[in-house]
Amino acid sequence: MAIESSSVPISIRGRYFYKGDERFFVRGVVYQPSRHDDSRGTINDPLSDDRIQELQQSIPLFIELGVNTLYIYSIDNKKPHAEAMTLLDNAGIYVVVTVATPFCSINRSKPYGSYNIANVTSFLKTASIMAGYPNTLGIVAGDSVINSYPSLQAAPVLKAVIRDIKRYLAWSNKTNGTRLLPVSYSIASVPSITHAPGLLEYLYLGDTKSTIDFCMPKSYSWAGESSMQWSGWDRLVSRFKEFAIPTFLSEYGTNIYKPRQFHETKALYSSAMTKVFSGGCVYQFNEAPNRYGLVVMPHTAEELFFKMDDSTHNQVTETRETDQGKLYIYGDFENYKTALAEPIDYDHNWDTMEHEAAERCNADTAQITWPWGPDFQMPETCIDWANIAELVERSPLETTAQRFENTHIA
């Protein structure tokens, strides 16, 4: 049953997102904090209700930053999420969630072997969970599955996963009244994949029952004092301007220079970008060993990283005392907050490309030559659709041993 809330589900018209009648821009951050007790066989799920205290600490900071969207890499579909999603909903924050986990995903080196009932059923179950919330912006069929020329062989399998998710969502909408969520793919920051014709066109063209509804490229090419031309973001705009679906950056914000100034955020919400792009998600909210965090939360695994590395201490601009302990605010947090506070520059009269969006289904992808060659075709569904309710809604719990048995490492 749909949850009563103050938020309005995001809709798609051609190449743009809308919240009601107003265009919606993703002003987001990647959110996947570690935890002290992460252990073998467990899924790091920041939206599970058993981690509600962490989320309650973070939400005021999301609001202070000015973000409206979280990108979540994975959730545990064996756990409840209603309390966490309601808290985010009440804060006006949307989520985008990937259906895969470290233990259940498409293996880029053996994609056809990893397209199986166990994996796809798990994907559908995650989609089922997220379809119950009004503040789910969309779901992601895979993140950076294809990151090299050889891994392009996974493209037909990825499209099969998209097809199965969309078929399940249509069934659930008709049977249970749940939402028809849009489905996406998060594209690796690899120019030979992002800019070369092939993968994007394959996922975009053809029967909309198996195509992506919005696009999520990553980009770390803007570093420090740069420009649209020096960073290559002008080429990014040129690459995506012909696609009549919404596009936003699933990750951006290189940390080559610290603290990050987020000049690229200002560019992202300028008219040079907003005609094609609908914002993006900075990587990432919580500190980690890769030093991309905006904050160090008290009593977390991130606090251990922080305390073990003295070089990070000069990045702190503010230390706040909380009921849980010390909260460290980095200069990155303040700079991203400042960048997001600037107005978004766009024209209400820009073409939404709704006609082009409708026409893309007319392309016959079977008649197009793709980079991975004719030997790799989209597999027939592995799901027994006649028993879909029992398969998804009554699937047995995995044990830790089974998770490791099903793990696919690329």
Q: Which distant-in-sequence residues (6+ apart) come within 8 Å of 350 by Cβ?
A: 275
Measured distance CA(200)–CA(243) in Å, rounded: 9
Look up residue 47 and give its two tokens: 């939206």
Note the pTM of the prediction, 2 decimals: 0.93
Closest CA to 181 of 192, 194, 190, 168: 168
Q: Mean pLDDT score of the chain, rounded to an integer?
A: 91
Q: Is 170 helix (H, G, I), strand (E, B) or coil?
A: helix
Q: Using one digit for the tens of pLDDT, what is the confidence trace for 296-351? A: 998 776 676 667 677 777 889 999 999 989 999 999 999 999 999 999 999 999 99
All structural domains of the chain with their residue ranges: 11-406
pLDDT tens-digit map of 102-153 = 999 999 999 999 999 999 999 999 999 999 999 999 999 999 999 999 999 9
Q: How far is CA 90 from CA 3, 43, 229, 270, 303, in A?
A: 11, 26, 40, 29, 28
**Please, which pLDDT band fits residue 405 given cuts at 50, 70 and 90?**
very low
CA–CA separation, 1 and 172 (whole Å): 11
Residue 203 has pLDDT above 50, yes or no: yes
The CATH architecture one would assign to domain 11-406 is Alpha-Beta Barrel (3.20)
